[in-house]
Amino acid sequence: MSNLTFFGASGIVTGSCFLLQQDSDSFLIDLGMYQESSDIQSENTKPLPFDPTSLNCVFITHAHLDHCGRLPLLAKAGYRGPIYMTPATKDIVEISLDDSARLAERKEEEDGIPALYTSDDVLKVLDLIQTVEYDTPFTHGSANIVFKDAGHILGSAIVEITDKSGKKTVFSGDLGNFPEDIIKPTEFISDASTVVIESTYGGETHKHEDVYEILQHEINEISNTNGVLLIPAFSIQRTQELIHRIGHLLKEKKISADIPIYVDSPMAIKVTEVFKKYTNLYNSHTASDETPFEFDTLILTEEAHQSKEILKVDGPKVVIAGSGMMSGGRIQYHLKNYISSYNTRILIVGYQAENTLGRQIETGVKRITLFEEDIPIHATITKIESMSSHADHPKLMKWLHTIKGLENVCIVHGEDDRRQALADAIKNDFPNVQIHLPTPTQTIEY
């Protein structure tokens, strides 16, 4: 008998955290931050809903903060067991958690908001990480574990856990929008009795778009108008994809070689160095490119004073900055300075969660409030949907259809309408499978 309890990402996208208890083992899969509205984010400050010292081990699917962002709380609470993840995930987790801690410490110093954890807590939890390679089985307690390539971001994993009776539970993590631009495609699973699957794009199909063509158009438009192209982008994967694609446009002379391309994100700059390290994880297209993340007009603005200098640069320019949902980071300063100009273009290249500034701008609001200022929006807003690093509905279903022996499917990591759309499709295609839409703290026995 296995007990699976859902402590996050149940009816919402973020806060991934699942507790699997089987035989005498207790496994935690992910411990992510809540990142949506302020009400949802308040869950981060609540005590962990389980005893960390009772865990046998922890598995982390990938390095996005909504899957790993609360890991330091384990060390604070006395956990001293292993935390398993892929090598690339470890390198990016170190960057992500360090960045998260430093931001929290700064807020505590400037605004008096207590930090969730400190840089010292990050160091303690990093000491617990053990790396595992894809497709390399290992054991912990009575379970056999295998990490498969999820194809979502560099190092992302699907976690297979098989108990001593031979029943396999699979955690999809976030599945990639295969084939991806840089990394290898999502691996398919041959068999499992229980699957925990993400549903970020349940019920939706990504548009068939020519990303290169849209990027080319947007950059050429600001070239013609002496405007600014702002691209809010996640530091992990999305920024690297943009650099890679813009580099190809330059090589093919489809955009001007005189336009500066700014990457205005210290974290994205560090993560790009990790991407350069793991060439073994590239797909064949990227592997054939000697310098996939370098070109002459690329300007990396790591320091705050360098970021401020961007405003003083005349002429057309492209600014890629975090955060991806525009809810923080340097992109907000650029929005404040440029969003009211008719010569500004904003290119949305990722998912915008409910109650975020990005969702407001995406849905066409005419004014926003930033830094206590009411600012009109005159910029042209364009969205690329096909750059999402999440599988859409048809790809989620394609991935499920390769799995034999399914008995339970638990749908997580999605807003309720997305979860229900995926549930309806699974019910139609798998009439004998038990479908669960877990609520927070709900436990499923199987």
Q: For 242-256, write each residue's pLDDT tens digit.
A: 999 999 999 999 999
Alpha carbon separation from 224 to 216, 219, 294, 298 (Å, rounded) = 12, 9, 25, 20
- Chain centroid to Cα 415, Å, comes to 16
Q: Are 159 and 29 in contact (CB under 8 A)?
A: yes
Does residue 393 come out as left (phi exceeding 0), alpha (psi in the -120 to 50 range) or beta?
alpha
Does the structure show a pLDDT above 80 at 353? no
User: pLDDT tens digits, residue range 166-194?
Assistant: 999 999 999 999 999 999 999 999 999 99
Where do the domains of the chain lie, and which CATH numbers do they carry? 2-204+389-445 (3.60.15.10), 211-383 (3.40.50.10890)
Residue 136 scores a pLDDT above 90: yes
Compute the distance between CA of residue 254 and CA of residue 102 in angstroms, rounded to an integer. Answer: 40
pLDDT score at 36: 74
- pLDDT tens-digit map of 273-290: 999 999 999 999 899 898
Q: Around Cβ 118, how many Cβ atoms within 10 Å?
A: 16
Q: Average pLDDT, stretch 350-358?
A: 84
pLDDT at 388 > cutoff 90? no
Inter-axis angle of helices 119-126 and 87-111, to 10 degrees? 160
Burial of 229 (0-12, 13-18, 19+ CB in 10 A): buried
Question: What pLDDT score was predicted for residue 38?
Answer: 76
What is the reported pLDDT for 35?
A: 85
Whole-number Cα distances in Å, 369 to 37, 300, 330: 16, 28, 15
Q: Is 327 helix (H, G, I), strand (E, B) or coil?
A: coil
CA-to-CA separations, 439 to 18, 132, 400, 410, 442, in angstroms, rounded: 12, 31, 22, 11, 5
